[in-house]
Structure 1
């Protein structure tokens, strides 16, 4: 990684493919970059790395205030290096108090920014596929920055839409069509994930471990059974939004345009108290025991999956089968 005129301040994070370090200019200390150092891969993983760079490059040509920006790229014998915005306010994950959440006004503000960023991403023909609390960064002024396009894909190219077929992302945030292992559209995946993010922000917990037939709490939801002891108390407007975000049929799922027109999305919270929604005593009792398996969330009996502790947070994963759209197709 080129270091002429820069120094490495610290490591910001590590992952299976490499690490992210903070780089500061020696001559202008206010000039800083978060550099994602990725070990060079071969085969399918190399395609994923090329895809990530391509998407970053395309999205950064114009830029959007709610999407992390790529400033430069470099290569050496062992690493690909992406020079990205350094965001100094941490992850949204760190803002959400476990089993409590944050107030509706703040959650709405973050949600509005996430939707704005996704609208830009989808409008350029890409889908993120790993929207989660950890991939939403915040500036110190609470501006949202969607980051980490390692699982991203192309859903539309030259006005032609392609179906996707790869299972990837983070289980607790994944849409049900992911688990069916059938070709699926891109944008509804991200819409579903924003619904899980919104629920987690408001309650400090997850509604279920995974949106599949073997999760009985998810089955309760799609069968119209709302267990008030497991859901935070919410008004009809908010509940209506959840029912449209978290609908199992992707063809019926709400679109970004419809989200922007929803009453809760447009609601003025300026005159209301900024505090988390009340939880019932039964809900606290239900959350008292949690089981974790293979890096993902699960439940014991009637316990609701909680937000994982920082050191045991849900991890992204991908089964490396090719999507319909590949990096080579886009580069042609």
Structure 2
């Protein structure tokens, strides 16, 4: 079918309970988009949530913001729904957070400023996110933060009338205490609380508690201002004083977006050149920019759209693809991928550069050697695993807090006889997942391809 052949659906970027997000690369222009694929048969509430998510995205599309992911289009094919989004090549924010360390303060300050700016814009539109966490915050090629995943978002204000929320939703460590209490709550303070927890995580590299409940000793200690334990001992006095106002247990005492923006810690302007220079000094891996990619791939320079950020030339895909007649479904839904067969050489070259800063790494081994190595490593680390296919493993364990942590490891055959090990979180906290990833990666240090 016209339109399918132009796009290589090359890799799963993430997954959830009801679907997954795939990266699509145009083999004509090298443009990239993200496609969220949702199976509405898995739960009766999914269809309603998808429609609500698309309605929210349409509202944001009419009033865009630089720190909110761009919505491109929506299509459906029976029970399978597709949401087309801007591809954020910088990966997820939690990839930047070093477990137990966090990130440099100037970066955390800048990302928090952008997060507050984007959430403030959503609130002005009458939209609440309700699941703010590092896994739902992406970065573009210029390291600007992008808010994404509006699956739990809803409208709290319409035509000047504001309503309280009643649904208990979100991720417990990031949720506000009033949300978990099961009582009607105001949407805006709840989102602001979640932003504050994200800030703690960026600064300290750990969560302050499993949930803001009186049954959790860490939260009780926070309420009593007993701050002699981590993460608070890692923070500066001014940061704690600011967080005391953002993480006020009583939502009526919590800072509003307007008040946050008047705080000196937030008002401080962070010059981009200074941020970039500090990133270089810290040796934070950066994905190759489009310009650098074009320089390293001379054949791409003549292709239209390689340096195009507007996404205008992607529009034709939504006009030419008819999901009611999937003559080539293999182009749209790929549960696994052998890149040597499923994608063009140009696409493979781009993909190898895109994955550098994600939870993936490239090793110089055959597939059989990689299988033996991964099984040996997981066994040594005492991680329970199951091989579900020759190229995929599932790991089910408990994190340091005793919470369930599940992730998948995919082995992908790349160019030059290399194997890409792709780690994807299925369930659990992103920071704890990062810890497990780093433990596994350390065991592969003798065979990791230089630069990965």
The bucket for the TM-score relative to the shorter chain is: 0.7 to 0.9
Q: How far, CA to CA, are the matches of 2:434 and 2:169 in structure 1? A: 21
Residue pair 1:11, 1:21 contacting (<8 A) in 2 also: yes
Segments of structure 1 that go 5 or more residues without pairing to the other structure are: 276-288, 297-304, 314-332
Distance of 2:118 and 2:37 partners within structure 1: 24
Equivalent position of 1:137 in the other structure: 138
Local SS of the residue matching 1:178: helix
Stretches of 4+ moved more than 4 A in 1? Answer: 268-275
User: Residue 400 of structure 2 aligns with which residue?
Assistant: 290
Match of 1:159 in 2: 160
Structure 2: stretches of 5+ with no match in the other structure: 280-398, 407-428, 438-452
Q: Which moved more, 1:224-233 or 1:130-139?
A: 224-233
**Structure 1 CA distance, aligned partners of 2:270 and 2:33?**
35
Q: How does 1:40-189 map to 2 (within 5 A)?
A: 40-41=40-41, 43-189=44-190
- Distance (Å, rounded) in 2 between the aligned partners of 1:223 and 1:274: 36
**Aligned residues, how many?**
291
Instruction: Encode CA deviations 1:231-259: one digit per residue, 9 max, x unaligned.
Output: 13433322221001111111111011111
Mark the CA change 1:268 to 1:145 in structure 2 (over 3 Å): closer, same or farther. Answer: closer
Match of 2:434 in 1: 310
- The 1:102–1:311 alpha-carbon spacing in structure 2 relative to 1, beyond 3 Å, is closer
CA distance in 1, matches of 2:161, 2:264: 32
Q: Which residue of 2 aligns with 1:16?
A: 17
CA spacing shift, 1:84–1:230, aligned 2, 3 Å: closer
For 1:103 and 1:26, how far apart are their aligned partners in 2?
38
The 2-side partners of 1:253 and 1:231 are apart by 19
Asked if structure 1 preserves the Cα contact closer than 8 Å seen for 2:99 and 2:434, the reply is no
Contact 1:99 1:204 in 2 (8 A): yes
TM-score (norm: length of structure 1): 0.81
| Whole-Å separation in 1 of the counterparts to 2:278 and 2:144 | 18
Q: Secondary structure at the match of 1:194?
A: helix
Counterpart position of 2:33 = 33
Q: Are 1:236 and 2:346 counterparts?
A: no
Contact 1:104–1:274 (8 Å) recurs in 2: no
Q: State the Cα deviation string for residues 141-195 of structure 1 (Å, max 9, x = none).
A: 1111100001111111111001111111111101000121000010111100111
> Structure 2: how far apart are the matches of 1:17 and 1:311?
25
- Classify the secondary structure of the residue corresponding to 2:55: helix
Q: Does 1:265 align with 2:266?
A: yes
Q: CA deviation at 1:67?
A: 0.3
Aligned to 1:205: 206
User: Could you tell me whether the CA contact under 8 Å between 1:206 and 1:306 is conserved in 2?
Assistant: no
Does the 8 Å contact 1:290/1:306 carry over to 2?
no
Structure that is richer in helix per residue: 2
